[in-house]
Amino acid sequence: MAGSTSFFALALVSCAGDPPSILEPAGPGARSVERLWWPMLWISTAVFLVVAGMLVAAVVRAKRDPDRSLDRREIGWGEPFIAVAGVFLPFVILAGVYVFSLQEMNELANRGKGAATNIEVIAHNWWWEVRYENSAVSANEIHIPTGRPIRLELTSADVIHSFWVPELQVKTDHIPGRTNHMWLQADEPGRYRGQCAEYCGLQHANMIFYVIAHEPQEFERWLAHEVEPAGLPEEAEAQAGAAIFMESSCAGCHAVRGTQAAANLGPDLTHFSTRTTIAGVLPNARSNLHLFVRDPHGIKPGVAMPPTELDADELDAVLDYLEALD
């Protein structure tokens, strides 16, 4: 008994935090799914119980009287039973569920149509590029205002990925060469985990991103800051780091807007220190940054980023610079 109690306690704990569940909706998109999911679960459970019950009854009867003929007429229910339980009832149930799903699918398809804000999300092996209408660029975090649908344009730079934020919306594919649309809406400010939901290669499971929802005014403030170019760092150490960054291979892949680093192979780092994670997988802290830059493949095997060739002092200065990118 103690074992099963702790099992349920564990199950409850896991429901409360990560990983996110589509059955804990935080916006109208996931609520549509939840509205469909529960009735479908109860209907299928009821059908399963009835069918399993009849199966058990048949087995019990056959055992009790093995010589009995299997002639349906003798059982007494006959053809009308087959017609009602085998044809009419399934038709009514499936047609009902279909009509009900169409309503929710309609809601999912139409709600974002009039959305004023457009955000472009480009999937890469293995990170997410995020572009806003005011030309701010970020990575692995999508900031949105609460309370209204935000339109997303989903594309891919390499293979097919799938965009999924369980607490907010259904999955939508990123397909190379085409643009798919969807919308996101969060009721409350918060941080909602997203995940690539289609196997895309070595780091599929680590293709994590976060949707960060703000009060509308706070979002405007964030967006206005995010579009600003990076300022020149004040401290000498960070300034030295900036110079090393520009001269080393860092600038060959990353952009820092407002500097000569303008490459687009890896994430834009303009306001890197304001992000909550490194590459979606580690909390954005100095020690983690050190780990990641020294050995990216130890954290995310298969990433395009090579281990750094900088010596310890140079690396320290570059980390100072990255931490000054606020």
Q: How many CB atoms neighbour CB 127 within 10 A?
A: 25
Contact 194, 154 (CB under 8 A): no
CA-based max dimension of the chain: 96
Q: Which stretch binds ligand CUA (CB under 6 A): 163-171, 194-202, 248-256, 268-276?
A: 194-202
Q: Name the percent of the chain in helix, strand, coil, to the closest 5.
A: 45, 20, 35
Cα dihedral 65, 67, 68, 71 sign = positive
Cα 194 versus chain centre, distance: 2
d(CA 164, CA 208): 10
Minimum Å gap between C-beta 15 and ligand CUA is: 24
Residues 130 and 142 sit within 8 Å (Cβ to Cβ): yes
Tokens 């909602």 correspond to what residue?
192
Least distance between ligand CUA and beta carbon 176 (Å): 12
By CB under 6 A, name the one of 198, 218, 237, 295 that touches ligand CUA.
Answer: 198
The single residue among 199, 236, 243, 247 that binds ligand CUA, judged by CB under 6 A, is 199
304 binds ligand CUA (CB under 6 A): no
User: From the CB of 179, what's the least distance to ligand CUA, in Å?
Assistant: 17
| Shortest distance (Å) from residue 172 CB to ligand CUA | 13
- Residue list 124-183, contact with ligand CUA (CB under 6 A): 161
Query: Which range touches ligand CUA (CB under 6 A), out of 35-43, 74-82, 199-207, 313-321?
Result: 199-207
Q: Smallest distance from the beta carbon of 295 to ligand CUA, in angstroms?
A: 22
* Residues in Cβ contact with 222 at an 8 Å cutoff, skipping those fewer than 6 apart: 143, 214
Give min distance, CB of 231 to ligand CUA, in A: 33
Nearest CB to ligand CUA, comparing residues 136 and 184: 184
Return d(Cα 36, Cα 40) in angstroms, integer: 6
Applying CB under 6 A, does 200 fall inside the site for ligand CUA? yes
Spatial CA neighbour of 124 closest among 152, 155, 157, 154: 157
Q: Which of 204, 214, 257, 275 binds ligand CUA (CB under 6 A)?
A: 204
Measure the CA–CA gap between 127 and 161, rounded to whole angstroms.
Answer: 10
**Residue 211 near ligand CUA by CB under 6 A:** no
The reply to whether 196 sits near ligand CUA by the rule CB under 6 A is: yes
Size of the residue set binding ligand CUA (CB under 6 A): 8
Choose which of 207, 242, 250, 293 interacts with ligand CUA (CB under 6 A): 207
Chain residues binding ligand CUA by CB under 6 A are: 123, 161, 196, 198-200, 204, 207
